[in-house]
Structure formats: C-alpha cells, structure tokens
Amino acid sequence: MSEVALVTGASSGIGAEFAKLLSASGYEVILVARRSELMAQLAQELPGPAHVIACDLANEAPSLASKVAALGLQVDVLVNNAGFRHAWALCRD
C-alpha cells in the first residue's frame, strides 16, 4: 500500500506542482481545492492514484476530515497550500 499525501490548493500553481511531484514519487494523492474541474483534469494526468475533493476551506474546513475519512485512507503527508489572496496584501502594507 502506498503512502497518501493530501494537498490543499491543488487546482493550480504550487499545489498542483506538489501533487505532481508527490504522485511521481509514489504517493497516492488527495487533491483538495474549490475548482473540481481543474483537479479532475490534474488527477487524470498524474501517474498514480488520485482523489478529488472539492472543498472551499474558507467555509467548509470542518467537513474536510469526514470527506477524507469517506475515502478510507489515512493521510501520511499534508501539504497545506490553500490560502486566500488578501493575506499577501496585509503583509506588504
């Protein structure tokens, strides 16, 4: 059984790149983000098993654990990449 990595913010950018690297390294990946269409496309491109969970962590974070549990997988690695755009603006002021 392969190890499982959960990647938030996986629909594009750094999150998608982490998912690609982890999948290429033998991890089964769980892709989490708001945009299910982009994650579904990414999941098809990955060399290993991938699962898509559409979830807006700003509003639905408490439900993520139950959605992961429903897959019957235990997460070994977490890449917590989800965030919101306003944080950068606050930091630079």
Q: What is the pLDDT of residues 54-87, one digit of tens each?
A: 998 888 888 999 999 999 999 999 999 986 655 4
Instruction: List phi, psi (to 5°) of 29.
Output: -110, 145
Percentages of the chain per state (helix, strand, coil), in multiples of 5: 45, 20, 30
Q: Which amino acid is at 62?
A: P
Please report the pLDDT score of residue 60 as a whole number: 85
What mean pLDDT is predicted for residues 13-23?
97
Domains along the chain?
A: 4-92 (3.40.50.720)
pLDDT score recorded for residue 1: 67
Range list of β-strands (E), the chain: 4-8, 28-33, 50-54, 77-79
Query: Under 8 Å CB-to-CB from 80, ≥6 apart: which residues?
Result: 8
Considering only 4-8, 53-57, 86-90, which range has the smallest mean pLDDT?
86-90
What whole-number distance in Å separates Cα of residue 6 and Cα of residue 33? 11
pTM check: above 0.95: no
Percent above pLDDT 70 for the chain: 87
